[in-house]
Structure 1
Amino acid sequence: MIKGIKIQRKMGQESEGGYSRIRVIHGQRKGQTPRYIIRCGCCRAPRLDIHYDEDGQGLEINGINGSIKNWSDILLPFLGIAPDKKRR
């Protein structure tokens, strides 16, 4: 399991800013890669599946495969974090 991701299964929990907490579930089906399931905290909207390699080299997010570097370059700016220049 990736360190630092807090599992939140309860629906309707409120976080800072008045938003519902995102629900996070971790699991692994037999014969498949481990995954996280991300869901809305206030409703039953479609989920986001994130499968990851045991060796930490790649991610599959909702069926789209990419390296950790590719996903970092795309997603980190949305969070206000500059991608790590050392990984290039």
Structure 2
Amino acid sequence: MVSAASSVAAGSTEPCDRCGAAAKLALVLASGRQLTFCGHHANGYTETILATAESVFLEPGFEWRGAQVESDYIGAHRADAYAW
């Protein structure tokens, strides 16, 4: 489960790992693996992201469903692990 907040990161040029669209959310798993998702896939995988991600980073202006579910998503955790 995510132990720290979604921190808002500068705009990304990374593509979604599922469909190639512009990424709106990046996450770091406990293994250190990093994934990126477009808004559609980020919201579609909200429960899985909340259950497995160690850190979540949002593009400015992106309203992720997970941030509403988990109100402790404030600040940064391992922010330097994923550079937007």
Same fold (TM over 0.5): no
Higher fraction of strand: 1
Bigger relative CO (Cα 8 Å, ≥ 6 apart): 2
TM-score of the two chains, using structure 2 as the length reference: 0.31
Higher fraction of helix: 2
